[in-house]
């Protein structure tokens, strides 16, 4: 499911939606595993987390996505018990976590900097939690060995953290946080310190591990691509609030605000005025685009309200000749072309001065050569490609 989502995101076109997997969060009667109820956290005058409510279900891989200062890490730290909420309630597996200290919570955390103990070997780092619980030494040894084999680090057990590469440290941190078999694992930017190639590999390992162990994961990340790949659901945060919760596909294709649309992926935001507002479609007149746009979903808005139409670059088609449709068709001049290998990016200037970003997959070898700088082109798209946003 996740691979298809990824291709959905990078390859534009019109891959039909992958069939939704019936999962707990779709079932209104399911009991949530983690319940965050009206949580607020204030540091002095600053509100880091503002009245957040979330329900996270068993075996989910939930991503909290947001920029820096959006409150996602603070929320995670409250789940781990390092910060006490100013108001609100956190329930994990039905137990109110108020006043329960970090060392007594059924939760483990993987830290952003990994926080490996530099004075202890890999083996001692991973076994640290079990030894604190007073587990018999031979059991600790066995469990540590199993866990290290699982993350393919069995041969490095005697090393110190500073003798490991970034990727190996990340695995040690993961092994250490999983060894106590927590009900809930919190991961703070788990892949943030890895280079791009390693990050992509590790993403899938993380997903496999999570499915294998059946642990509920809550991941904090600022990387939308990472969130899209990893998660069953994403909660987008901004200024301490959750602005949208949904499956990666929903977040990408049906953003509920300009913030979400712009934060997740790239998007062209075209201003316009609603002229027709029906149940199943909206028509928007836009001076900026120089055309009339029709979008096949209804919105609730006032007549003539100023709205924005969000249009993903990969959903726009480019042609030299005028297409048959009059709706959803803009004219412009190519100002810049960037050839990226798998796709080409065009920057097209409209007569209104508005710049539109278009990506075209290079499905034939010399696709890019068809268009060149200063070409007058038509940009057009289907009625089900764009989204109208009122906020």
Partner 1 sequence: MSKLPGLARVGEVLANRKLPALVMKVNWGRQMVISIPFLWLAIFFFIPFVVVLKISFSEAAIAIPPFSDLFEWDPDGAYATFKLNLGNFLFLLEDTFYLDAYLSSVKIAAIATALTLIVGFPMAYLIARAEPNRRLFLLALVILPFWTSFLLRVYAWMALLKRGGPINDILIAFGFIDEPIRMLQTDFAVYIGIVYTYLPFMILPLYSVIEKLDGSLLEAAEDLGCRPIQSFFLVTVPMVMPGIIAGCLLVFIPAVGEYVIPSLLGGSDTLMIGRVLWDEFSINRDWPMASAVAIVMLVVLVLPIMFVRNRIGNKGEV
CA dist., res. 96 & res. 91, Å (int): 4
Cβ atoms of residues 126 and 164 within 8 Å: no
CB of 365 to partner 1, least distance (A): 45
Give the single-character DSSP code of 147. H
Q: Of 6 and 159, which CB lies nearer to partner 1 in the complex structure?
A: 159
CB of 114 to partner 1, least distance (A): 9
The first and second tokens of residue 49, run together, are 């987390």
The binding site for partner 1 (CB under 8 A) comprises 80-82, 101-103, 107-109, 111-113, 115-119, 128-129, 132-133, 160, 176-177, 180
CB of 107 to partner 1, least distance (A): 8
Q: Of 107 and 236, which CB lies nearer to partner 1 in the complex structure?
A: 107
CB of 334 to partner 1, least distance (A): 49
Q: Of 40 and 112, which CB lies nearer to partner 1 in the complex structure?
A: 112
CA contacts within 13 A on the Cβ side of 391: 7
CA contacts within 13 A on the Cβ side of 264: 35
CB of 24 to partner 1, least distance (A): 26
CA contacts within 13 A on the Cβ side of 57: 14
Residues belonging to the chain:
391
CB of 49 to partner 1, least distance (A): 18
CB atoms within 10 A of CB 344: 20
Phi and psi angles of residue 189, each rounded to the nearest 5 degrees, phi first: 45, 60
Q: Of 46 and 103, which CB lies nearer to partner 1 in the complex structure?
A: 103
CA dist., res. 116 & res. 256, Å (int): 39
CB of 178 to partner 1, least distance (A): 11
Q: Of 82 and 363, which CB lies nearer to partner 1 in the complex structure?
A: 82
CA dist., res. 19 & res. 17, Å (int): 6
Q: Of 156 and 377, which CB lies nearer to partner 1 in the complex structure?
A: 156
CB of 151 to partner 1, least distance (A): 17
Q: Of 73 and 286, which CB lies nearer to partner 1 in the complex structure?
A: 73
Q: Of 108 and 385, which CB lies nearer to partner 1 in the complex structure?
A: 108
Q: 189-219: string of b/e by CB count within 10 Å (b at 16+)?
A: bbbebbeeeebeebbeebbebbeeeebbbbb
Element spanning 284, H or E = strand 282-286
3-state SS class at 104: helix
CA dist., res. 190 & res. 167, Å (int): 11
CB atoms within 10 A of CB 187: 25
Q: For residues 317, 319, 322 and 326, what is the CA-based torsion angle, rounded to 10 degrees?
A: 10
Q: Of 103 and 353, which CB lies nearer to partner 1 in the complex structure?
A: 103
CB of 133 to partner 1, least distance (A): 6
Element spanning 91, H or E = strand 87-92
């Amino acid at each position: 499911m996740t691979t298809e989502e990824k291709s959905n995101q990078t390859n534009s076109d019109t891959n039909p939606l992958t069939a939704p997997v019936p999962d707990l969060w779709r079932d209104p009667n399911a009991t949530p595993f983690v319940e965050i109820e009206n949580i607020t956290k204030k540091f002095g005058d600053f509100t880091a987390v503002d009245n957040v409510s979330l329900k996270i279900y068993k075996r989910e891989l939930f991503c909290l996505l947001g920029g820096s200062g959006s409150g996602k890490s603070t929320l995670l730290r409250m789940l781990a018990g390092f910060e006490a909420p100013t108001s609100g309630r956190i329930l994990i597996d039905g137990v109110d976590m108020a006043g329960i200290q970090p060392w007594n919570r059924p939760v483990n955390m993987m830290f952003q900097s990994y926080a490996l103990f530099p004075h202890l070997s890999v083996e001692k780092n991973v076994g640290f939690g079990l030894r604190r619980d007073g587990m018999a030494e031979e059991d600790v040894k066995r469990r540590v060995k199993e866990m290290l084999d699982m993350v393919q680090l069995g041969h490095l057990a005697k090393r110190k953290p500073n003798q490991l590469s970034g990727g190996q440290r990340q695995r040690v941190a993961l092994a250490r946080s999983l060894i106590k078999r927590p009900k809930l694992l919190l991961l703070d930017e788990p892949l943030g310190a890895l280079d791009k190639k390693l990050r992509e590999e590790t993403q899938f390992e993380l997903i496999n591990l999570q499915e294998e162990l059946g642990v509920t994961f809550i991941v904090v990340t600022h990387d939308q691509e990472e969130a899209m790949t990893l998660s069953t659901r994403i909660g987008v945060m901004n200024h301490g609030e959750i602005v949208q919760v949904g499956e990666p596909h929903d977040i990408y294709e049906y953003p509920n605000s300009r913030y979400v649309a712009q934060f997740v992926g790239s998007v062209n935001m075209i201003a316009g005025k609603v002229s027709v507002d029906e149940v199943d479609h909206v028509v928007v007149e836009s001076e900026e685009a120089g055309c009339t746009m029709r979008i096949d979903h209804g919105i609730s808005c006032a007549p003539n309200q100023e709205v924005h139409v969000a249009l993903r670059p990969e959903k726009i088609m480019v042609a030299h000749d005028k297409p048959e449709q009059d709706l959803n068709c803009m004219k412009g001049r190519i100002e810049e072309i960037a050839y990226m290998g798998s796709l080409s990016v065009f920057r097209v200037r409209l007569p209104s001065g508005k710049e539109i970003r278009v990506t075209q997959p290079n499905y034939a070898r010399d696709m890019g050569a068809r268009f060149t700088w200063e070409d007058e082109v038509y940009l057009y798209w289907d009625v089900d490609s764009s989204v109208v946003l009122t906020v």
